[in-house]
């Protein structure tokens, strides 16, 4: 599949696209790349109101369009910046006919609280840098960027499986407990770069995960209910717990049963170039 080619049925390519299924009915009717107005119309299907932490309604606009001249911001001057523009105006610069930006828009519609939290982290950091005349991104912004691009939410009703994943005991979870995984564990992609890569997945595809222990009943709630609750949990984690990339765990996402046909063979999990053991501490 060429990356510039529109496919309204991308949902069918992998189970990894499950979080976008509530939007699928309207997206499947697009015979060509959706325009900005099409993306903005999808907001009516979002599980929550889509707005920044500053209270500005999110609008997907051309990357080269001019931002609103009157942002209502009265603080110290902040340089023109992608994240500032979103926080102050609600405008999300978006490239047309671009999978990366298309998936970014869908993540905004699916996890609006978490996306707004990430945007606030960047805005506050940039604002503080202006006041302190600092230029370094800092560990928090690095972590926020990494999760925004490559984040994975791991839900499990088995705390011992979370521990095993954190210890990089990949085969113990993905193969030895394979039959129990559908009832007890879910991977939910968040990072829009990960979604783009899942259009044409390759061995080595890895995300950065956060873990939430849940009861098994939660995993069988309607998808829209789960997504709404996860969005709130994730926003709280990002605003109050995330501090650096050390808070994120590597997740070889193609290890999840069914996300690639290749992992139906136990030998698949013996590839330590992909399923890397935990590095020993010196």
Residue ending a domain, choose from 114, 136, 158 = 136
pLDDT of residue 134: 52
Cα(157)–Cα(76) distance, integer angstroms: 46
Residue 201 falls within a domain, yes or no? yes
Q: What is the pLDDT of residues 89-131, one digit of tens each?
A: 999 999 999 999 999 999 999 999 999 999 999 999 988 865 5
The predicted pLDDT at position 135 comes to 56
Q: In this structure, are 113 and 38 located in the same domain?
A: yes
- In a domain, residue 10? The reply is no
Residue 137: predicted pLDDT: 77
Which alpha helices (DSSP H) does the chain contain, by range?
A: 21-27, 36-41, 82-89, 99-110, 112-132, 138-150, 159-166, 170-174, 181-184, 192-197, 223-240
163, part of any domain: yes
Provide the domain limits for residue 97.
33-136
Q: Are residues 124 and 211 in the same domain?
A: no
pLDDT at residue 150, rounded to an integer: 98
Q: For residue 237, tell me if it sits in a domain.
A: yes
- Phi/psi of residue 142, each to 5°? -60, -45
- pLDDT score for 85: 95
Q: Is position 243 within any domain?
A: yes
pLDDT value at residue 46: 81
Number of domains in the chain: 2
Q: Quote the Cα angle for 191-195-197, to 5°.
A: 115
pTM, rounded to two decimals:
0.91
Digit-coded pLDDT (tens) for 145-175: 999 999 999 999 999 999 999 999 999 999 9
Task: Provide the 8-state DSSP code for 263.
Answer: G
Q: What is the largest CA-CA distance in the chain?
A: 60
User: Cα separation of 105 and 22, whole Å?
Assistant: 14
Distance, CA of 146 to CA of 263 (rounded, Å): 26
| Residue after which a domain boundary falls, among 136, 170, 192 | 136
What is the H or E stretch that residue 153 is in? strand 151-156
Same domain, 257 and 209: yes
- Tell me the pLDDT of the chain (282 aa) as tens digits: 445 799 999 999 999 999 999 999 999 999 999 999 999 999 988 867 899 999 999 999 998 754 444 344 334 343 458 999 999 999 999 999 999 999 999 999 999 999 999 999 999 998 886 555 455 679 999 999 999 999 999 999 999 999 999 999 999 999 999 999 999 999 999 999 999 999 999 999 999 999 999 999 999 999 999 999 999 999 999 999 999 999 999 999 999 999 999 999 999 999 999 999 998 765
Instruction: Kindly list the distances between the CA atom of residue 47 and the CA atoms of 72, 90, 198, 228, in Å, as whole numbers in the listed order.
Output: 27, 18, 23, 6
The verdict on 40 and 105 lying in the same domain is: yes
Residue with token string 């839900």: 155
| Residue 244 sits in the same domain as residue 150 | yes
Do the bridges between strand 151-156 and strand 185-189 make them parallel or antiparallel, or are there none, so unpaired? Answer: antiparallel
Q: Are 86 and 52 in contact (CB under 8 A)?
A: yes
């Amino acid at each position: 599949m060429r990356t510039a080619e529109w496919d309204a049925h991308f949902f069918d390519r992998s189970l990894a696209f499950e979080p976008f299924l509530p939007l699928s009915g309207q997206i499947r009717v697009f015979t060509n790349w959706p325009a900005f107005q099409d993306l903005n119309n999808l907001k009516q299907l979002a599980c929550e109101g889509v707005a920044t932490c500053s209270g500005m309604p999110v609008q997907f606009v051309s990357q080269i369009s001019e931002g609103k001249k009157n942002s209502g911001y009265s603080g110290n001057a902040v340089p023109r910046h992608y994240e500032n523009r979103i926080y102050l105006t609600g405008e999300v610069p978006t490239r047309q006919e671009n999978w990366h930006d298309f998936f970014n828009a869908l993540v905004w519609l699916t996890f609006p609280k978490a996306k707004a939290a990430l945007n606030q982290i960047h805005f506050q950091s940039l604002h503080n840098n202006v006041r302190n005349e600092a230029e370094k991104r800092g560990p928090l912004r690095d972590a926020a960027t990494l999760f925004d691009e490559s984040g994975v939410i791991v839900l499990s009703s088995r705390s011992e499986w979370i521990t095993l994943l954190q210890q990089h005991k990949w085969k113990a979870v993905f193969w030895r407990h394979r039959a129990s995984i559908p009832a007890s564990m879910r991977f939910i992609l968040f990072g829009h770069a990960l979604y783009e890569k899942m259009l044409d997945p390759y061995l080595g595809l890895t995300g950065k995960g956060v873990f939430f222990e849940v009861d098994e009943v939660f995993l069988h709630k309607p998808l829209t209910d789960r997504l709404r609750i996860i969005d709130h949990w994730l926003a709280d984690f990002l605003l109050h717990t995330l501090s650096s990339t050390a808070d994120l765990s590597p997740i070889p996402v193609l290890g999840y049963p069914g996300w690639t046909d290749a992992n139906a063979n136990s030998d698949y999990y013996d590839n330590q170039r992909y399923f890397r053991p935990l590095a020993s501490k010196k």
